[in-house]
Each structure stands twice: as structure tokens, then as C-alpha cells.
């Protein structure tokens, strides 16, 4: 990458030089132009990310805007639509957007798709991204194009100045551990999501911190990763219990994975909560319908979507075009106690 003077702002010229193309071509890519090859587009997006270019706040086009100058459309970008959590969040975005007179365009962020170019061609108030990685080249192009972006619990650390809304994940993990510890459980397992996801790590860290603090380090916490997937959570649960058959309490970092924990315990002939207590995270509708009902940490999924819309509207209407550095907004989590947790018994569960 060509060097630039210390303290100078990256320019389109630097992006063009780094990508081995022209300034007009870079400009076309950042407008979502169609007359650019996929290879050139990828090189430009890579260069944008490499030099850290972002467009200065300024006037946007007027197509698709209402009389106040604000676009009538916002984009909700997700990596998948499946699952109750995504549905709850989409509902929150849709309701708040409708109340503000905005339509929502739902976009599937496929890793190697050209969704970002289609989005850049639209006149949008901005983007809400959930279940996404802000370090991807596609999101780098959005930041570079000056599109206002609000991230909901991003998978990785977003660039400086990018707004995010999330829940108190660390606090939720702490509450889960404190609940199990209050019932006498000191040999515990955690079925985490992905090791690289910030919100999964925060939940595990909060759980570990409470276990260490409340027992002066005498509690044991074993961790296996279930990748936010029910079937993989089954495998993770078996790995935990094979490694430590004396585990009496399991924290699943998502209710969807807690279902996998239930499956694995049933396969081993273990009862919930008599043999092993189980606690989840989310408070999805399934948590109430399974037997026994799942104790879980509630995150306000619908409220998350609504809060992201409000923040995006504020950014889009701000005089600096959203160039200010907004603070992260965190919504509280709370413990919901049901029948899947109970006091530790004198007899540890037998290995399979």
C-alpha cells in the first residue's frame, strides 16, 4: 500500500492507487455502479479497507426522499433470516420504521454476493446490520461511501465512530452463573457460540467472573462451542460431560443451543433439573414451550430493533451527516426463572 503522510486523511486518489485503478472507477464502486467488473470492484473494496477511507459527510441525492430531505427507506442487512431471535428483531425494526413513516428493505448479506452495490444504488436513510461482521469488505464499502450504519451486537469490533446497539451480555452471563451458584452448583459447563464473536465471549467472561468471585476460585467452568446451532450444541454438551461427568449445571449462550443441551441430556438418560440444571440466553418463545420450561436470561430482542431504528434516524438527520462518534447503546438483560434449574443433588450424574 502506498505510504501517506502522518495525520493525513485517506483520499480517493490513494484508494485508486492502492487498487491499481482510476478515481472515477473508485467513485463508481462507492455509488454501486453496474459498469465495473467484479474483479475491479473487489480490488477497490479491498483498497478502501486497507487505507481506511471514509467519505466526508455531505449532501446525498434527492431521489426517494421526502419533503424533509430524509429518505423514505432504511436497509436491514442480516446474514440469515431463520430463527425466532431474528424474527423478533425484524419485528422491532419494522414496527419502529413504520411509526416513523419508513419502509424497510430486507437484505441477505451473502459473503461473496453483490448486495452492497445494490444497496449503494438505493437512496436509503442508512443501514441497520445485525448478525454481521463489520470487518467484512462489504461493510467497509458502506462506511467508505458515507452511508449511516447502526450495528446490532456486531460479531467483531466495529470501526471507530460506527454506532452500535446491544444488550448487557457480560451482565447476562454473570446473572446466569449467580443463579446456578445460588442453587449449589459449582461444577458447571458452558455451551458458547463462536469463540470469535464478541457477544459470545462477553457472556462466557461474565459467567466465569461470577464463578471465580463468588466461590474464591473453587468453582470449575468448562467451555465447549456450539456455533449457535442446535445440532452442534448436542455435540458440545457431550464433549462437556465426557470431559467432566460431575457437571451439574450448564449455561447455553443461546436458547437455540439450550434445545441441543436438552437433546444431549435426554440421550444420556439425564433428567432436567434433577440431574443437571440448564439455563439459556434470549428468552425466545421456545423457552416457554419446551418441557421443563427453560430458565433463561432475557434479552429485549424486539426493543433492540426499535432502538437501532431510532438511532439510525438520529444519525441521518444530524447536521454532520452522521459523522459524529456515537456511543454504544446497551439494553438491560434480566433473569427469567422457570423449571429447568433446581438445587444441586448429592449424587453427581453418572457418565454415559
Strands 149-152 and 103-108: unpaired
For residue 63, name the pLDDT band (cuts at 50, 70, 90): very low
For residue 349, name the pLDDT band (cuts at 50, 70, 90): low
Tens of pLDDT, residue by residue over 21-39, are 877 777 777 777 777 777 7
Over residues 214-228, the mean pLDDT reads 94
Distance of CA 95 to CAs 84, 124, 221, 302, 309, Å? 17, 18, 40, 9, 10
Tens of pLDDT, residue by residue over 134-152, are 888 888 888 888 889 999 9
Whose grid coordinates read 467484512? 136
pLDDT of residue 60: 44
pLDDT of residue 300: 96
For residue 67, name the pLDDT band (cuts at 50, 70, 90): very low
pLDDT of residue 14: 82
pLDDT of residue 21: 83
pLDDT of residue 351: 43
Helix, strand or coil for residue 115?
helix
Task: Determine the Cα angle at 266 with ends 84 and 227, to 5°.
Answer: 45
Over residues 149-159, the mean pLDDT reads 90
pLDDT at 99 over 80: yes
Task: Classify residue 153 as left (phi > 0), alpha (psi -120 to 50) or beta.
Answer: left
Position with higher pLDDT, 167 vs 53: 167
Task: Determine the Cα angle at 198 with ends 57 and 10, to 5°.
Answer: 30
For residue 347, name the pLDDT band (cuts at 50, 70, 90): low
For residue 210, name the pLDDT band (cuts at 50, 70, 90): very high
Over residues 206-219, the mean pLDDT reads 94
Tens of pLDDT, residue by residue over 235-270, are 999 999 999 999 999 999 999 999 999 999 999 999
Specify whether the CB–CB gap between 110 and 104 falls below 8 A.
no
Specify whether the CB–CB gap between 228 and 256 falls below 8 A.
yes
pLDDT of residue 109: 86
pLDDT of residue 324: 54
pLDDT at 5 over 50: no
pLDDT of residue 31: 72
Specify whether the CB–CB gap between 58 and 322 falls below 8 A.
no
Mean predicted lDDT score pLDDT of the chain: 86
DSSP helix, strand, coil percent of the chain (3-state; round to 5): 40, 15, 45
Span of 214-223, 237-246, 276-285 with lowest mean pLDDT = 214-223
Residue 217: CB atoms within 10 A of its CB come to 9
Nearest to 64 by CA among 27, 102, 97, 116: 102
Whole-model pTM over 0.85: no
Over residues 303-318, the mean pLDDT reads 92
Specify whether the CB–CB gap between 344 and 183 falls below 8 A.
yes
Residue 18: CB atoms within 10 A of its CB come to 22
Alpha helices (H) along the chain:
12-19, 23-30, 38-51, 84-99, 115-121, 137-144, 169-182, 198-215, 230-243, 255-267, 286-289, 301-317
Distance of CA 190 to CAs 45, 203, 346, Å? 38, 10, 21
Whose grid coordinates read 470487518? 135
Strand order in the sheet with 220-225: 220-225, 187-192, 249-252, 277-282, 295-298, 334-336
Over residues 172-181, the mean pLDDT reads 98
For residue 56, name the pLDDT band (cuts at 50, 70, 90): low
Position with higher pLDDT, 1 vs 18: 18
pLDDT of residue 8: 63
Tens of pLDDT, residue by residue over 268-279, are 999 999 999 999
pLDDT of residue 285: 94
190/225 Cα distance (integer angstroms): 8
Strand partners for 73: 103
pLDDT of residue 343: 97
Whose grid coordinates read 420504521? 97
Amino acid at each position: 500500500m502506498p505510504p501517506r503522510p502522518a495525520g493525513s486523511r485517506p483520499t480517493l486518489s490513494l484508494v485508486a492507487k492502492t487498487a491499481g485503478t482510476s478515481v472515477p472507477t473508485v467513485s463508481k464502486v462507492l455509488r454501486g455502479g453496474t459498469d465495473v467488473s467484479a474483479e475491479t470492484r473487489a480490488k477497490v473494496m479491498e483498497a478502501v479497507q486497507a487505507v481506511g477511507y471514509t467519505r466526508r459527510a455531505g449532501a446525498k441525492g434527492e431521489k426517494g426522499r421526502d419533503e424533509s430531505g430524509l429518505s423514505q427507506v432504511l436497509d436491514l442487512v442480516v446474514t440469515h433470516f431463520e430463527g425466532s431471535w431474528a424474527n423478533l428483531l425484524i419485528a422491532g425494526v419494522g414496527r419502529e420504521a413504520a411509526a416513523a413513516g419508513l419502509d424497510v428493505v430486507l437484505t441477505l448479506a451473502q459473503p461473496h454476493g453483490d448486495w452492497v452495490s445494490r444497496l449503494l444504488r438505493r437512496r436509503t436513510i442508512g443501514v441497520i446490520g445485525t448478525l454481521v461482521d463489520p470487518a467484512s469488505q462489504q461493510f467497509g464499502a458502506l462506511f467508505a461511501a458515507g452511508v449511516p450504519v447502526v450495528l446490532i451486537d456486531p460479531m467483531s469490533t466495529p470501526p471507530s465512530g460506527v454506532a452500535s446497539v446491544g444488550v448487557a451480555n457480560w451482565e447476562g452471563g454473570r446473572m446466569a452463573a449467580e443463579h446456578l451458584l445460588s442453587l449449589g452448583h459449582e461444577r458447571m459447563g458452558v455451551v458458547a457460540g463462536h469463540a470469535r464473536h464478541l457477544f459470545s465471549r462477553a457472556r462466557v467472561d461474565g459467567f466465569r467472573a461470577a464463578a471465580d468471585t463468588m466461590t474464591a476460585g473453587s468453582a470449575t467452568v468448562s467451555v465447549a462451542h456450539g456455533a449457535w446451532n442446535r445440532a452442534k450444541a448436542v455435540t458440545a454438551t457431550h464433549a462437556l460431560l465426557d470431559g467432566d461427568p460431575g457437571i451439574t449445571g450448564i449455561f447455553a449462550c443461546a436458547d437455540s443451543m439450550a434445545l441441543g443441551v436438552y437433546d444431549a441430556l435426554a440421550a444420556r438418560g439425564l433428567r432436567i433439573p434433577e440431574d443437571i440444571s440448564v439455563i439459556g440466553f434470549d428468552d425466545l418463545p421456545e423457552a416457554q414451550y419446551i418441557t421443563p420450561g427453560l430458565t433463561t436470561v432475557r434479552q429485549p430482542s424486539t426493543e433492540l430493533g426499535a432502538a437501532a431504528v431510532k438511532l439510525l434516524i438520529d444519525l441521518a438527520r444530524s447536521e454532520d451527516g452522521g459523522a459524529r462518534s456515537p456511543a454504544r447503546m446497551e439494553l438491560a438483560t434480566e433473569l427469567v426463572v422457570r423449571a429447568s434449574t433446581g438445587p444441586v443433588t448429592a449424587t453427581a450424574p453418572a457418565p454415559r
